[in-house]
Structure 1
Amino acid sequence: MKLSTLASLLSLEFLGKDKEISRLNTLANALEDELSYLDHSRYLDVLKSTKAGAVLISKEHTNALPGGCSALVTPTPHLSMAYASAYFATPLASTTGEPARVDPCAQIFPHVYIGKGAVIEADVTIMAGAYIGDNAYIGEGSIIHPNAVIYSGSQLGKRCHILANAVIGADGFGYAHTAQGEHIKIYHTGTVVLEDDVEIGACTTVDRAVFGTTRIKRGTKIDNLVQIAHNCELGEGCIIVSQTGISGSTTLGRNVIMGGQSATSGHLKIGDFATIAARGGVTKSLEGGKTYGGFPLVLQKDWLKLQAKISKFFNTNKENK
């Protein structure tokens, strides 16, 4: 829509040239027809080099906008972005558009829904009750088990294996908050890409990105009941064990192992060949090639030593009593 129209819908002051806006994106990646936002002064250097056509921005920072970049002036850029995201949300399903392209060698069981513009390549098997959204892509030889959901725009490589009730490409868990404590949904307009030979376990969820891509790289295997949040990137050959939770914008290097019920906080990096023991809680970025455990997280060997000392201390106290 026109930038001026969006400004009117959001009741915001509009500065600069009017232009068509097609989607939302980050300051670093936005293009001339895209809208971004600045919600903290630490991103001012990124703002100065942005190619965004317009930015949701507070009055005090408008002088930092690069030439040709328009402004929607708001005291709460993050909240205004949440409101704006509703106008650019991906439709859940469409009744118009190009029909799906299904290779004759694909095996489609009864009661499968395949949306407009979807592409199903050769030797794909889609079992009963599965849902394939608009413009999704399922690569050659992939298997989709019963009642799995592949939301619109999601991309699966060759020989991917999606077990029953897994959900690929649902909106991530993201909200902006009003002064009154209301939680305003941020509609996620990115996508999910699973590269070749990725396996997703039963009842596991991989959320679409807010902007850009949530990516699971080649050969990674994910167990049942795992949560992968928006904008995560998992490197090649990772092993993610049941009930693990990976928070938004976390990056795992190649061949990272995360034991059962382990978890990360968001916006951190775990290096290549790191191992997180079961129930390990990752709160900061980690060097690769080491095994970690416990909470707060330490090297696993130190965690085991600590547990032995605690056990000895309690046993000594019991004997003294």
Structure 2
Amino acid sequence: MQAPLFLSSIAQEIGITNPIANDFIIHALTPLEYGEEHDVSYIDQVQYFRVLAESKVGAVLVRERDYEAHKASFPAHVQPLFVRNPHLAFAKLSQKFAQSEFADPFAPTLYDKSTKPSYPNIQPCAQIMQGVHIGENVTIGARTLIMPGVVISDDVVIGDDCKIYPNVVIYRQSMIGNRVNIHAGSVIGSDGFGYAHTDSGEHCKIEHNGIVRIDDDVEIGANVTIDRAVFGQTHIKHGVKIDNLVQIGHNCVIGEHSLLVSQVGLAGSTSTGRNVVMGGQAGTGGHIHIGDFTQIAGRGAVGKNLPPNTKWGGHPLMPLDEWMKFYVSLRRMLKKQEG
């Protein structure tokens, strides 16, 4: 069992420069809006100071100059921790909370139906084929089929009537609803792509300790990757259909009944409303929201929030009708030059 991690014990390691007025055992790293009194968060951009008034976190990593400029935003219970680079300090601290994928690395690698496992909760009418690795405290629902080569890590929940095709990997604590199909080679809950950077250009890994949650009636194609959240959850909502070779970054939220066509790539914290359609090879920058019933044409590059009930295309992105006219005009200009 990991020893308690006191705030004072990590001060020197992550570069806290001011005295710690209220020492406590750190329970978790959280966003400002979700934390509790023994949790730690960070502020790297000034717009997040507006969230502080309602925050319950016990301490916040922050630049001293930013704190001085926004001192009035700090509630009395939130302790500022001065660091040069809050993002880098957070990355270093996140490594203290890294979790192993399997509780017992020497556990048997195959689920043998002839011996009842002591820890997974598998419904008798579920089908587990040969060559499946199941971790501790896994729940598998009724009539769910797990095909050969699947690896299921600890604390995963899979609902009823699911089909998990060969060589799928489901990382720890992932939550999968009912009637979910995940096709061959897909990876659910892998570590997100997040790094902080030192002054000399080295990359410091941010450990992702959140989860992936997949709601009912979701279809996930082959070789799709859905990254788990830094904290909180990456959420695929009810009825979403995802084509092959799609990448969904950490903390993304995909709205109900949305369609993501092959090779779509969503950067971290992208969110969509319901019934969003993204054509092949379309992509987004991070922290972008796409409104309900919005459509993105293939190869569309989304770099800003998009309103609901609209259609977009191109790079740079523009309304779809405008982009089609622009493309036709460009073709005409090229033909004139050639003639």
Same fold per TM (> 0.5)?
yes
| Aligned residue number for residue 91 of structure 1 | 100
Q: Which moved more, 1:168-177 or 1:19-28?
A: 19-28
CA contact (8 A) 2:15 2:83 kept: no
| Aligned residue number for residue 87 of structure 2 | 78
Residue number among 143, 153, 171 corresponding to 1:123 in the alignment: 143
Aligned structure 1 segments of 4 or more residues deviating by more than 4 angstroms: none
| Aligned residue number for residue 7 of structure 2 | 3
Q: CA deviation at 1:9?
A: 4.0
Q: CA deviation at 1:269?
A: 1.1
Measure the CA separation in 2 of the matches of 1:306 and 1:93.
Answer: 53
Measure the CA separation in 1 of the matches of 2:273 and 2:138.
Answer: 31
Does residue 161 of structure 2 align to residue 156 of structure 1? no
Q: CA deviation at 1:35?
A: 1.1
CA contact (8 A) 2:313 2:320 kept: yes
Identity of aligned residues (%): 44
Does residue 149 of structure 2 align to residue 140 of structure 1? no
Structure-2-length-normalised TM-score: 0.90
| Aligned residue number for residue 102 of structure 1 | 122
CA contact (8 A) 2:8 2:20 kept: no
Measure the CA separation in 2 of the matches of 1:311 and 1:11.
Answer: 57
Q: Which moved more, 1:27-36 or 1:173-182?
A: 27-36
| Aligned residue number for residue 170 of structure 1 | 190
Letter in 2 for 1:4: S
CA contact (8 A) 1:38 1:47 kept: no
Measure the CA separation in 2 of the matches of 1:247 and 1:25.
Answer: 20
Cα displacement string for residues 125-151 of structure 1 (whole angstroms, at most 9, x for unaligned residues): 111111111111001111111110110
Measure the CA separation in 2 of the matches of 1:206 and 1:284.
Answer: 22
| Aligned residue number for residue 16 of structure 1 | 21
CA contact (8 A) 2:195 2:206 kept: yes
Letter in 2 for 1:87: K
Cα displacement string for residues 97-123 of structure 1 (whole angstroms, at most 9, x for unaligned residues): 982211111101111111111111111
Structure-1-length-normalised TM-score: 0.95
Q: CA deviation at 1:8?
A: 4.5
Letter in 2 for 1:160: V
CA contact (8 A) 1:131 1:147 kept: yes
Structure 2 residue runs of 5 or longer lacking an equivalent are: 108-117
Q: CA deviation at 1:33?
A: 2.2
Q: How many residues align?
A: 319
Query: How big is the alpha-carbon RMSD for the aligned residues of Structure 1 and Structure 2?
Result: 1.7
Does residue 251 of structure 2 align to residue 231 of structure 1? yes
Does residue 268 of structure 2 align to residue 248 of structure 1? yes
Q: What SS does the aligned partner of 1:15 have? A: coil
Cα displacement string for residues 197-236 of structure 1 (whole angstroms, at most 9, x for unaligned residues): 1111111001111111110100000000000001111100
Q: CA deviation at 1:186?
A: 0.3
